Amino acid sequence: MQNDLFAGNAGPQAGREQESLPDLAQRLRRELTQHGYNYYTLDAPTIPDAEYDKLFQQLQALEAQYPELKTTDSPTLRVGGMILPEFSQVQHAVAMLSLNNGFEDDDVIAFDRRAREGLEIIDQDIEYAIDLKFDGLAINLRYVNGVFTQAATRGDGYTGEDVTENIRTIRSLPLRLRCEKPPAILDVRGEVLMFKADFDKLNQRQRDLGAKEFANPRNAAAGSLRQLDSKITAQRSLRFFAYGIGLLEDADLPTSHRALLDWYQSMGIPTCEEKAVVNGAPALLDFYRRIQEKRAQLPYEIDGVVYKVNRFDQQATLGFVSRAPRFAIAHKFPAEEALTTVLDIEVQVGRTGAITPVARLAPVFVGGVTVTNATLHNEEEIQRKDVRVGDTVIVRRAGDVIPEVVASVLEKRPEQTSVFVLPKQCPICGSDIVKLEDEAIARCSGGWIKCAAQRKGGLFHFASRKALNIEGLGEQLIEQLVDKNVVTTAADFYKLGLMALAELDRMAEKSAQNVLDALEASKSTTLPRFIYALGIRHVGESTAKDLALTFADMEALMAATEEQLLQVNDVGPVVAQSIIRFFADPFNVELVRQLIASGIHWPVIEKMDLSTAIFAGKTLVLTGTLPTLSREQAGALIEKNGGKVAGSVSKKTSYVVAGEDAGSKLLKARELGVTVLSEEELLALCNAQ
């Protein structure tokens, strides 16, 4: 068969005269599969997105006109198919059993002892494979003669639900295995999950539509996987990582768990890079602690790690007990979510006047600590979540992040609760609480002079490590100084005497002298630190550095026009107006002059035009250990050449500079297609300027 629509095609197939439609369809599938593998698995695209879209649309049109050409491994199936009336049941050929859990070091040590006893190697270390325990959904994928044919949830371990059409939409998952002689049947076990960035985008879309948001990435992944309309699933960016095997026919099983994952990777099946093979229990615990430290920086949620005896022959010897294997254990992290009760809702006032509702909670142990307070962010957020006093709520704490209320459990809500209403006056100074049209945050209108909370917050910011770095001048001491009317502005710090400090609570003459010495030392600073210390809204460390490099002195900055400010790297209209408003206030100008008169000084900065620098307008991220440069040196070099150094990788990142032991930031860069530089390449770009 032949048709004018597909005859004499330009582009990749130009020159292939009289190519039959079946051959054209096969070639398009092959090319699209290869390009998809390059993009989603290798993070190394070889054609522009627009060119991929053209090939995809061509195959789509071909299959629509000639349905008999469509195959079960066609890339067009990833956009979703027909709406299902319900999920059918699937019997697992090999049961999907759960793992026993360990929560303490002693649990892991006991697991290792039992494994050595079972293998009768008491005096030897066992080789273990370690994987992450993803916070997603366990799935069994079946490949028949190398072609993906079915996917089923874990269910009760023996029978699951058929979610084949939804799993097809996962673009990193091969619909045909990349190998010459695939197994007759291969059941791949793994986890379906949603990355944090994709979860944030999904919830933003839900907000835009006025729809209910998902509480966490796992719920979002579960909700996406159980859509009867796979077109909806296709829009939600699910991912898959393989970690095990079920039925295998007409192929040799690899000798170990690690060899299995390597085999999967060779066939194009995604596995997680964060894995290891170690010997003995101490090495297991060492990996656990290292991954726990970097947990918050990972692009996906995990709730622990999984230890497995690596060799399959040793796994077979150990066998199973009840519904769990003897050769594996999940070492769980402390829970990051828990249920508790809202005792009260109060508001806090920040240094910029921001009013933040805070839930006072019945004490609950979550994320390794006892939590009694959790942020509710702002008035819009508390109304959207409809959190009320008396509610049972889900509280979440990840790493060092401030605990937050995720959602209320409505079925546990007591009768006669009332909706929270933000007060109209500041609880500290009584000034009106106002809200600008372009902001979600309400603010106290009192300012530093009227509002003690803003005064304390601003003074603590001034003394903080990244600002003037005044050691010993902490929150408790500043609170006393403000409450006793000893200090009103930052300039008053430099008027303090020994006796005024020594008479304060928990102070003595020696500690008072230490604070005075720290104040004297803080007078020698840098212009970026000084600008940052002033606490101008929207001016963080990076912007303060850009302002210092552009204007070189405070008088020039205070007199800057909006047009001049907009020439500064990363300064837009909002930041420019904030700076202008700050220096339009005579109080702030006088404060700057008093601080300089007190002796605060900094090295002269050579005024630079960074608009034409090699990294002008670009954001770079540093990760790993560089061969010769320290993080500070590399950052200074980037800023000197017009760039901005950020702490995390996003779509706005221009380059990632990676050294030895680069971790999740490098993984995220590859995922997003961000250019990765070595130290040598960074230096070469800077020297070429």
**In the structure, what pLDDT confidence band is assigned to residue 12 with cuts at 50, 70 and 90?**
very low
Long-range contacts of 7-11 (CB under 8 A, 24+ apart): 9/58, 11/51, 11/54, 11/55
User: Which is higher by pLDDT, 249 or 34?
Assistant: 249
Both structure tokens of 346: 């109060």
276 exposure class (CB count in 10 Å sphere: 0-12, 13-18, 19+): middle
Buried b (16+ CB within 10 A) or exposed e, 22-51: eebbebbbebbbebbbebbbeeeeeeeeee
Q: For 14, which DSSP code?
A: T
Report how far residue 510's alpha carbon sits from residue 640's, in angstroms, rounded to the nearest whole number.
41
10 Å CB burial of residue 281 (0-12, 13-18, 19+) is buried
Per-residue pLDDT averaged across 340-353, rounded?
93
Please report, for residues 194, 381, 496, the alpha-carbon distance to residue 359 in angstroms, rounded to integers and kept in the order given. Answer: 29, 13, 37
Q: Which of 624, 620, 616 is nearest to 654 (CA)?
A: 620
* % of residues, the chain, pLDDT over 90: 49
Task: Choose the weakest-confidence range: 93-97, 465-469, 594-598, 610-614.
Answer: 610-614
Written as one string, the DSSP assignment of 279-325 is ESHHHHHHHHHHHHHTGGGSSS-EEEEEEEESBHHHHHHH-EETTEE
Q: Tell the residue number behind the tokens 């009320």, with chain if given.
A: 388
547's CB contacts (< 8 A; 6+ apart) are: 528, 531, 539, 557, 568, 571, 579
Annotated binding site, which residues?
49-53, 98-99, 131, 154, 191, 308, 332, 426, 429, 451
Give the pLDDT of residue 66: 84
Asked if residue 518 lies in contact with residue 471, where contact means CB atoms within 8 angstroms, the answer is yes
For 543-555, what is each residue's pLDDT tens digit?
A: 898 899 889 999 9
- Count how many Cα atoms sit within 13 Å of the Cα of residue 411 in the half-sphere of its side chain: 0
Q: Span 350-374, mean pLDDT? A: 88
Please classify residue 604 by burial: count the beta carbons closer than 10 Å to its beta carbon, then call 0-12 exposed, 13-18 middle and 19+ buried.
Answer: exposed
Q: What is the largest CA-CA distance in the chain?
A: 99
Q: Count the Cβ atoms, other than its own, within 10 Å of residue 352.
A: 18
pLDDT tens digits, one per residue of 515-524:
999 999 999 9
Cβ contact 36:45 at 8 Å: no
pLDDT given for residue 372 in this prediction: 92
pLDDT digits (tens, 9 = 90+) for 39-62: 555 556 677 656 766 787 788 788
- CB-CB neighbours of 289 under 10 Å: 9
- What's the average model confidence in pLDDT over 98-120? 90
Task: Indicate the helix (H) or strand (E) that contains 428.
Answer: none
Predicted pLDDT of residue 7: 46
CB 549 within 8 A of CB 608: yes
Confidence class for position 632, pLDDT limits 50, 70, 90: confident
Is 466 tagged catalytic? no
- Helices and strands per DSSP (H, E), number in the chain: 25, 24
Positive/negative CA dihedral, 84, 89, 92, 95: positive
Residue pair 534/466 in contact by the 8 Å Cβ criterion: no
| Predicted structure pTM score | 0.51
Residue 66 phi/psi, 5° resolution?
Answer: -130, 80
pLDDT at 50: 64
Q: Which of 288, 253, 264, 285 is nearest to 274 (CA)?
A: 288
* Residue 39 near residue 45, CB atoms below 8 Å: yes
Q: Which domains does the chain have, with CATH numbers?
A: 11-70 (1.10.287.610), 106-332 (3.30.470.30), 337-348+358-412 (2.40.50.140), 447-522 (1.10.150.20), 527-597 (1.10.150.20), 619-687 (3.40.50.10190)
Q: Which segment of 252-256, 273-277, 528-532, 543-547 scores lowest on mean pLDDT?
A: 543-547
DSSP per-residue codes, 452-510: HHHHHHHHHHHHSTTTT--TT--HHHHHHHHHTTS-SSGGGGGG--HHHHHTSTT--HH
Give the burial class of 12: count Cβ atoms within 10 A of its Cβ; 0-12 exposed, 13-18 middle, 19 or more buried: middle
CA dist 349 → 41, 427, 488, 524, 623 (Å): 47, 8, 17, 31, 36
Is the confidence at residue 407, as pLDDT, over 90?
no
Residues 589-600, mean pLDDT to the nearest whole number: 96
Higher pLDDT, 64 or 121: 121
- 393 and 415 Cβ atoms separated by less than 8 Å: no
Instruction: Inform me whether the pLDDT recorded for 2 exceeds 90.
Output: no
Distance of CA 316 to the CA centre of its chain: 38
Q: Is residue 3 pLDDT above 50, yes or no?
A: no
Choosing from 54, 70, 133, 607, which is the catalytic residue? Answer: 133
Element (H, E) at 448: helix 447-450
Lowest mean pLDDT among 68-82, 112-126, 163-177, 302-316: 68-82
Q: Give CA–CA dist 436/443, Å, rounded.
A: 9
> Counting beta carbons within 10 angstroms of the beta carbon of residue 84, is it exposed (0 to 12), middle (13 to 18) or buried (19 or more)?
middle
* d(C-alpha 269, C-alpha 62), whole Å: 28
**pLDDT confidence tier of residue 80, bands split at 50, 70 and 90:** very low
Query: Contact 545/528 with Cβ under 8 angstroms?
Result: yes
Rounded mean pLDDT of 237-266? Answer: 95
Q: Which long-range contacts (CB under 8 A, 24 or more apart) does 107-113 make?
A: 107/329, 107/331, 108/281, 108/284, 108/285, 108/288, 108/307, 108/329, 108/331, 109/281, 111/281, 111/307, 111/329, 112/280, 112/281, 112/284
3-state secondary structure 614-659: CCCCCEEEEECECCCCCHHHHHHHHHHCCCEEECCCCCCCCEEEEC
Binding-site sequence positions for Zn(2+)? 426, 429, 451
Q: Which residues are annotated as a binding site for NAD(+)?
A: 49-53, 98-99, 131, 154, 191, 308, 332
User: How high is the mean pLDDT of the chain?
Assistant: 87
Task: Give SS3 for 90.
Answer: strand
Is the distance from CB of 72 to CB of 165 less than 8 angstroms? no
User: What are the DSSP calls for 508-569, one per residue?
Assistant: -HHHHHHHHHHHHHHTB--HHHHHHHTT-TT--HHHHHHHHHHH-SHHHHHT--HHHHTTST
* C-alpha distances in Å from residue 379, one per residue of 204, 210, 385, 420: 18, 17, 10, 9
If residue 433 lies in a helix (H) or strand (E), which one and from where to where?
A: strand 433-434
pLDDT of residue 13: 42
**pLDDT tens digit string along 412-434?**
999 989 999 999 999 999 999 99
CA dihedral (310, 313, 314, 319) in degrees, to 10, reads 110
